[in-house]
Amino acid sequence: DAGVTQSPTHLIKTRGQQVTLRCSPISGHKSVSWYQQVLGQGPQFIFQYYEKEERGRGNFPDRFSARQFPNYSSELNVNALLLGDSALYLCASSLGGQGAVGANVLTFGAGSRLTVL
């Protein structure tokens, strides 16, 4: 079975541009989360989606937005890029919902490495 897949794996943008990152969850997983990992730090939570609805948002500006599609894949959009947006963007999927043991255990993809020049 395929794990969490992300695209693109690497990309370079310039300040002020916009970027869209894509994520396909593990088959059967209905929840997708996005995290930003700046070099030398732990991942920081950006968004979580479950059944196409936003279920959580971290402390990020409105330049960051996301959505989840009917097939449970997701996109993360970042507008008006700043140098400080350079990071590894990680997508994670989980079963989601409540009740099942481990329903919220996250499986991460390999990430999309964004460099802003």
117 lies in the site for another protein, by CB under 8 A:
no
Q: Which of 19, 90, 95, 116 binds another protein (CB under 8 A)?
A: 90
Two tokens, residue 19: 């970027």
x/- binding map, residues 14-53, to another protein, per CB under 8 A? -----------------x-x-x----xxxxxx--x-x---
x/- binding map, residues 49-88, to another protein, per CB under 8 A? -x----xx-x-----------------------------x
Q: What are the φ/ψ torsions at residue 24 (nearest 5 degrees)? A: -115, 125
Q: How many residues bind another protein (CB under 8 A)?
A: 27
Closest C-alpha among 4, 9, 7 to residue 113 = 9
Distances (CA, A) of 112 to 70, 80, 97, 101: 22, 18, 26, 29
